[in-house]
Amino acid sequence: MTGSDAPPSFRLAYVPGVTPTKWVRIWHERLPGVPLVLSGVSAAEAPDVVRGRGADAGLVRLPMDRTGLSAIPLYTETTVVVVPKDHLVAAVEEVSAAELADEVVLHPLDDTLEWERPPGLPAVERPATTADAVELVAAGVGLLVVPQSLARLYHRRDLTYRPVTDAPESRVALSWREDETTDLVEQFIGIVRGRTVNSTRGRPAPVPEDKSKPTAKAKAKSKATAKSAARKPAAGKSARSGSGGAKRGKPRRRS
């Protein structure tokens, strides 16, 4: 198969913590002839990947640089603090940022939360990634505040997490180039927004009816009228009953 003969595909980038499984399954059900190609990217590089046409769309985290991009927020995540299971925070249902003031709170370079000032005491160095920070929490170096999906993604048996009531929240969004809202992008927008398969959004508009041509209904009506006219007696002729005239009396017998 040559390049020009290859079927179209839809390339979807997604950031850590986002699980596109459900949407991918619906895509395959609705568009079985269009492959959906997934690529995992970091939250920091996701906007540039979509802008640079490395993907047709991306599941990204807000806030982000939206220059040249459209974005539809999909959902907002709970923010949690990751702690060792034997930490005092593990004994409560939730905490505030102020309650972490005396704790060393790690702030990785790939942090996706928009802080005015991160809570707690700063570590000597910032970990390069969230995954590295989780390892440091397990080593007892400090705590980590992240979106809940990342706490689940990097889960360890010796760690747990609790909601932070007043921390910034991370929103997950679908993003694409604002000047390239293609039919396939519209199809995926419909899927993530929960539109049914019968939705007209993102589908070709129906062909307008040619009113100069008689419709099937009009043709049937015309045919029925013609049949009725054929059964109706012609004007000026009386209807006959029976065999076509008045009954004749019996002939008289001649004597």
Evaluate whether 95 touches 81 at the Cβ level (below 8 Å).
yes
pLDDT grade for 208, boundaries at 50, 70 and 90: very low
- Taking 90 as the threshold, does the pLDDT of residue 170 lie above it? yes
More confident residue, 243 or 23: 23
Provide the pLDDT for residue 81: 98
**What's the pLDDT score for residue 227?**
59
> What is the arithmetic mean of pLDDT over 228-246?
50
Instruction: Look over the chain and give the mean of its residue pLDDT values, rounded to a whole number.
Output: 84
| Separation of alpha carbons 221 and 254, rounded Å | 61
Residues 33-69: tens digit of each pLDDT:
999 999 999 999 999 999 999 999 999 999 899 999 9
Residue 205's pLDDT band (cuts 50, 70, 90): very low
> Using one digit for the tens of pLDDT, what is the confidence trace for 104-117?
999 999 999 999 99
Q: What is the mean pLDDT of residues 72-79?
A: 96
Residue 229 has what pLDDT? 56
Note the pLDDT of residue 239. Answer: 44
Q: Which of 140, 152, 150, 121 is nearest to 83 (CA)?
A: 140
Model-level pTM? 0.73
Rounded-to-integer distance, Cα 170 and Cα 199, Å: 30
Residue 252 has pLDDT above 90, yes or no: no
Q: Cβ contacts of residue 47 below 8 Å, gap of 6+?
A: 58, 60, 64, 65, 66, 69, 175
